[in-house]
Amino acid sequence: MEHLGFPVETIIVFIVFVLVAFCIDFMAHKKDDVISLKSAVIWSVFWVVISVLFGLYIYYHHGSEMASLFFAGYALEKALSVDNLFVMMAIFSWFKIPEIYRHRVLYFGILGAIIFRLIFVAIGSSLLMLSSWVEIVFAFVVAYTAIMMLKGTDDGDEIEDYSQHLAYRLVYKYFPVFPRFVGHSFFISRNQAKKEIQKDKSIKFISKKGLFIATPLFLCLCVVEVSDVMFAFDSVPAIIAVSREPLIIYSAMIFAILGLRTLYFVLEALKRYLIYLEKAVIVLLFFIAFKLLVNGINHIFNLGFEISANLSLIIILTILAVGIIASYLFPEKN
């Protein structure tokens, strides 16, 4: 008996691969620590190895053609998702999320991505036009973040009170949001909120109905999820063009996304060692904002012009290479 074009055992193997690797990752990062470059590289290699092992399983049980489609979809999703690395960086910078909490946000963000990608594979690209307006909104968010980084407002300047933050002001009227971080919690109870207010009387929080109260960390998670949905509008149709086998499409996307999260931390760690890499990232954020704006307008008005995924990848890799090479040629002088 076959489901999604493959035997049930293949689907079970895929689920086991993802769950076991996901659990290993979670257990290894239970503590709120800054992820070092060495750790980030090791975990990036770990996810590549897991992806290759699953591809080899496909090869031995379903032939070279299916394996080739899997690796082609995997590589394509990886390439199309590079933009998302820098958008996530912009989101964390916008919310001023401490580095010790970023892995937690991305970990749970992946859980949402797994669900949303399954929905997208099921419905194909029928909701493509919905992404156009989201692209334009994100273009302005990314550009704003790049300007703030250019002015010198770096990730280390934490926000003490989120009550004036744009994301907070947009949602607090509809559901309760606490204006400060409370550890790595996405939600806190009313009793916890009262204790926090007792500790610091300057906290401005109007109590509303509901058992749980969201924190700014949850708002950041929601924006990360929206960004993933936005990029899914581009990547899902592209991978469907490579293969019409649902399991091949879905597994290729999931393994690529899981590895992408660890690549984010490689990039963040490298910024601490390569002095011009952050400047390169700022340039990339301006480029990505321009790309999102152009492509969004093109989707709405059918202008016939957009920045292709291939061109985008070439520009991104070139700018990153320039930042890395410049850091070696012109090291910081003590």
Supply the pLDDT for residue 288: 87
Rounded to whole angstroms, the Cα distance separating 194 from 263 reads 39
Whether residue 162 contacts residue 180, with contact meaning beta carbons closer than 8 Å, is answered with yes
Supply the pLDDT for residue 1: 42
Give the tens place of pLDDT for each residue, 253-277. 888 888 887 888 888 888 888 888 8
Supply the pLDDT for residue 49: 92
Average pLDDT, the chain: 81
Give the tens place of pLDDT for each residue, 178-201. 888 888 899 988 888 888 888 877
Of the ranges 112-121, 165-174, 210-219, 297-306, which is most confident? Answer: 210-219
Query: 187: helix, coil or strand?
Result: strand
Of 167, 159, 164, nearest to 138 by C-alpha is: 167
Of 81, 110, 78, 105, nearest to 94 by C-alpha is: 105
Q: Which residue has the tokens 């509008």?
A: 233
Give the Cβ contact number of residue 133 at 10 Å: 13
Q: Is the pLDDT of residue 5 over 60?
A: no
Confidence category of residue 325, pLDDT binned at 50, 70, 90: very high
Supply the pLDDT for residue 220: 92
What is the pTM (predicted TM-score) of this model? Answer: 0.82
Whether residue 259 contacts residue 47, with contact meaning beta carbons closer than 8 Å, is answered with yes
Q: Give the pair of three-digit tokens for residue 99.
A: 């580095």
CA 38 to chain centre: 21
Using CB atoms within 10 Å of the CB of residue 285, give its burial: 0 to 12 exposed, 13 to 18 middle, 19+ buried. buried
Alpha helices (H) along 173-276: 190-199, 216-242, 246-271
Supply the pLDDT for residue 58: 92
Locate the domains of the chain by residue range. Answer: 2-157+216-329
Confidence category of residue 154, pLDDT binned at 50, 70, 90: low
